[in-house]
Amino acid sequence: MTFKTIIEPFRIHSVEPMKMTTPQHRGKAIREAGYNLFSLHSDDVLIDLLTDSGTGAMSRDQWAGVQRGDESYAGSPSYYRFLESVQELFPFKHVIPTHQGRAAEKILFTAIAKPGKTIPNNTHFDTTRANVEATGAEAVDLPCKEGRDPSALDPFKGNMDVAALDALLSDRAGQVPVVFVTITNNSGGGQPVSLANLKEVREVCTRHGVALFLDACRFAENAWFIREREPGQHGRTVRDIVREIGSLADGMTMSAKKDGLANIGGWLAMNDDDLAGRCRNLLILTEGFPTYGGLAGRDLEAIAQGLREVVQHDYLRYRIRSTAYLGDALTRLGIPIVRPTGGHAVYIDARALLPHIPPLRYPGQALAVALYEAGGVRGCEIGTVMFGLHPDGTEHPAALDLVRLAIPRRTYTQSHIDYVIEVCAEVKRRSGQLPGYRIVEQAPTLRHFTARFEPLTA
Ligand code: F0G
């Protein structure tokens, strides 16, 4: 007999109180924050779904690792435990710890990119794109066509368009230092990439003599989707699938704040000795000595243990089912979301939910503010506020106006999520009355972090 209730496969060991707030309190807080959810004090937030990055709960054994952390400047045993844990999953020859994912990106692209170069990816995450562009190189997104349609129910919408990659590598022969595949595709809705697609990408890269790197932040979630959805994969362990994914690549960047189950950390790994040497030299300039990167020994221990826990099937079954639980409930309520539900987050299609608010009046912002005001739930606008302002100062609607509800790992219980569902239902009921917004103050780049808004009255 299997029961249908998905239970959290852990008991609670230490608790963090949450501050209960009233609608009046939240109305004042968000007004003072200029209607920007990044500007709130987080203790005014009840359920914080801004990101799944670094916000998860660590296990008893990770905290034990923190106690064991050895802070030697060079050659710490904590580094060797970290190294062993990474290489058990990703047997790359060189593993370079960094303080988080974007530091790995910065070092790698500084070493290999410059004006005239092109870096393709299924879809660049925003820091990845920014780090490519900071070198003067061009970042090109090549998602498969199903990945561009929020309602297409394809199992692997994170896949790369292999034909487009082949054409680009022919066109720009000698100008592409690396091909990147992001697993899961965060900017594309947390959608997975299939093993079959990765093998095709590998074949194209080999044929053109170009290296393949993974942006592997959510590798375990991606491997679980492969096990669940890809023909012939169900009998395998996630560990085994992850090793195969790693064996197809020449290197990786990683944010341990996601599937490292840690609050900070990351790494850069590769097989190429010469490239590793250049990256280590850059690492020493800004991050630290190669056996700690930008981390304390205790952080390396937390990651080493997190990597052992994140590939456990009971954990991943709960993780992926509990995200789908939220997505399924919103779908039943008639709230449009990117489907199928991704691994780490549910993405609400705010433009479809609020058709009376034009994109340049920021439907995603309107929805994110309404979820906060109604129930203290903080999501993140991923739409025209984030992507609409261009370097030449012009403003255009983004491809989609979404609100991402990202689920921190092992942090909220099912009753917290039931509450989020109720808040979403209430906001949907009032959706026709939600106002659009205008921006009254903004920075020239990455404006979403600091812009101030005003609601438009009818
Ligand atoms: N790559 C992907 C796919 C990511 O999702 C992130 C971070 C990074 C790289 C950068 O890693 O934050 O450790 O420097 N994503 C977070 C998010 C911030 O909310 O999606 P980092």
- Burial bucket for residue 443 (CB in 10 Å: 0-12, 13-18, 19+): exposed
Of the residues 98, 187, 255, 344, which should be mutated to test ligand 1's pocket, given the most ligand atoms within 8 Å of the CB?
Answer: 255
The confidence score (pLDDT) of residue 414 equals 94
| CB of 424 shorter than 6 A to ligand 1 | no
Of the residues 186, 191, 254, 347, which should be mutated to test ligand 1's pocket, given the most ligand atoms within 8 Å of the CB?
Answer: 186
Give the CA distances from residue 338 to residues 283, 331, 346, in Å, rounded to whole numbers and listed in that order: 38, 10, 7
| CB of 255 shorter than 6 A to ligand 1 | yes
Q: Alpha-carbon distance 224 to 230, whole Å? A: 10
| CB of 51 shorter than 6 A to ligand 1 | yes
Work out which ligand 1 atom sits closest to the CA atom of 127: 10
How far, in Å, from the CA of 232 to the mean position of ligand 1? Answer: 31
How far, in Å, from the CA of 356 to the mean position of ligand 1? Answer: 32
The confidence score (pLDDT) of residue 149 equals 87
The confidence score (pLDDT) of residue 419 equals 98
The confidence score (pLDDT) of residue 169 equals 98
How far, in Å, from the CA of 451 to the mean position of ligand 1? Answer: 21
Q: Alpha-carbon distance 289 to 98, whole Å? A: 10
Q: Do residues 218 and 344 lie in contact, with contact meaning Cβ atoms separated by under 8 Å?
A: yes
Q: For ligand 1, atom 12, name the residue with the nearest CA.
A: 101
Secondary structure class of 84 (helix, strand, coil): helix
Work out which ligand 1 atom sits closest to the CA atom of 53: 16
How far, in Å, from the CA of 218 to the mean position of ligand 1? Answer: 10
Work out which ligand 1 atom sits closest to the CA atom of 102: 14
The confidence score (pLDDT) of residue 458 equals 60
| CB of 217 shorter than 6 A to ligand 1 | yes
Angle at 111 between CA 174 and CA 93, to 5 degrees: 95
| CB of 121 shorter than 6 A to ligand 1 | no
The confidence score (pLDDT) of residue 249 equals 98
The confidence score (pLDDT) of residue 291 equals 97
pTM, two decimals, is 0.96
Q: For ligand 1, atom 2, name the residue with the nearest CA.
A: 125
Q: Alpha-carbon distance 403 to 37, whole Å? A: 12
Using only C-alpha atoms, what is the Rg of the chain? 22
How far, in Å, from the CA of 222 to the mean position of ligand 1? Answer: 15
The confidence score (pLDDT) of residue 403 equals 97
| CB of 100 shorter than 6 A to ligand 1 | yes
How far, in Å, from the CA of 101 to the mean position of ligand 1? Answer: 6
The two tokens of residue 45 are 């937030």
| CB of 128 shorter than 6 A to ligand 1 | yes
Q: Which residues in the chain come in under a pLDDT of 70?
A: 458
The two tokens of residue 144 are 């498969």
Work out which ligand 1 atom sits closest to the CA atom of 218: 3
How far, in Å, from the CA of 305 to the mean position of ligand 1? Answer: 20
